[in-house]
Amino acid sequence: MTDTYTRLVRSAPGGMLAKQLGLPRPSKLLRRGDRPEPVLGPVVVLGASAAADALARRLLDEGADVRRRFEDLRSVGTVVIVADELTAPGDLGPLVLPLAGAMRSLLPGARVVTISRPATGEEPARDAARGGVEGFVRSLAHEMRGGATANGILVADGVGPDAPGVVGALRFLLSARSAFITGQFLTVTSDAGSATADLAQPLAGRTALVTGAARGIGAAIARTLSADGARLVVLDVPGAGTELSRLANELRAVPIQLDVTSEGAGERLVSFLREHGLLLDIVVLNAGITRDKLFANMTPDRWDPVLGVNITSQITLSEALLEAGDALGAHPRFVSLASTSGIAGNRGQTNYAASKAGVMAFVDALAGRLEASGGTANAVAPGFIETEMTAKMPALTREVARRVNSLAQGGRPVDVAEAIAFLASDEAGGVQGQTLRVCGQNMVGK
């Protein structure tokens, strides 16, 4: 799925020309099939707190080559900066500056992850230091090279740095599954969740519903959840019946043809689940459409369907599943598809941006409703992803969209799917009401 420009600049003459002209030179991103090891070594853990010591021991116990300093290392695969005890801005420099001299030693596909606390609005100096970590990581991500990424984990006060949600988030961000995520933060708000027994199939024994599953990102989500061990229920409109049946046969999934905007769609879904004796542990609300137009030319026939599919259907399906009482497992995971357009807006997409901003607010509210039962609700916001839909964009617009992120390339549907699989896992139990951007640190929003 590599685009023509990327193929050109990865060739010897093309790369030389791009360097001379100062053009973007996208690096190959190492995804799951390219880099199977869970942690790229050697690993350097920076920090003098008890949490840093404990984390170093955990990584060592899991087989990583762990060091506490950069001396004598010619190359570095992973850097974990444990900044959980900052009290003032002056504490940050001594902690992170050792990395400065090692930046040129980072391997292709390297990972830098910080573990820190979020600002609480209570202690000015401490909050300034905590906020400084976020600015540091977001800027560092713009400077990473060779497909390397920089991200952070914010651990709420009162949550231990060794909580399942922290360990799970760290594993995800250090793995090749986070290849198109950089400059982002995951916040772990509680000790909820549990360690994954089988890292190869973390969703084994779970049943997952994926809406809009017949093609594109939806099909990639279904394939990834299936590869992680989940049993699949795949849903799409009757018009996509052929593709849906083909996918269901491939994954041994249960297909359901249903227009999610039709009257009584939620009740029909619940009836279908009862007929087949299915309880959903994971609900991925992916179905979505676009009807782009400048707002001056916007009409109800373009506005209403987009809001109907992209957000109203998510609300009605979720309500039906929750109210049924026998459609969901004990600790359900809801994951919705948002978009960076909903964060920063996009010309000609007032309807789409409104629907996707609505998704983010929706999961935040739904998370509060689910938290008491151990369930979660979160969203994933893709940036430019190489799909059939983006392939239809005007060539120049498409090319610009590919390059305006820190990784200088478009993502793949599997990148979105990997983030969803993480949020659907037991280890993400402490992540609530958040929207994780999968955009290569697109130059819009934050």
| From 5, 180, 352, 362, active-site residue | 352
Query: What one-character-per-residue DSSP string does 64-122 give?
Result: --EESS-TT-S-EEEEEEEETT--SGGGHHHHHHHHHTTGGGEEEEEEEEEEE----SS
Map residue 197 onto helix, strand or coil. Answer: coil
Starting at the edge strand that comes first in sequence, how are the strands of the sheet with 185-188 ordered? 66-67, 43-46, 76-83, 106-116, 149-155, 185-188
Is 176 in contact with 32 (CB distance < 8 Å)?
A: yes
64-73, long-range: CB < 8 A, 24+ apart: 64/39, 65/41, 66/41, 66/42, 67/42, 67/43, 68/44, 69/44, 69/98, 70/44, 70/98, 70/99, 70/101, 70/102, 70/105, 73/42, 73/44, 73/102, 73/105
> For residues 186 and 9, what is the distance between their CA atoms, to the nearest angstrom?
33
Which 8-state DSSP code applies to residue 135? H
CA pair distance 419, 436, nearest whole angstrom: 8
| 5 carries an active-site annotation | no
Question: Taking a C-beta distance cutoff of 8 angstroms, is the pair 334, 377 a contact?
Answer: yes
- What the block records as the tokens of 170 is 């760290």
Secondary structure of residue 19 in the 3-state scheme: helix
Residue (of 161, 145, 198) closest to 56 by Cα position:
161
Catalytically active residues are 352
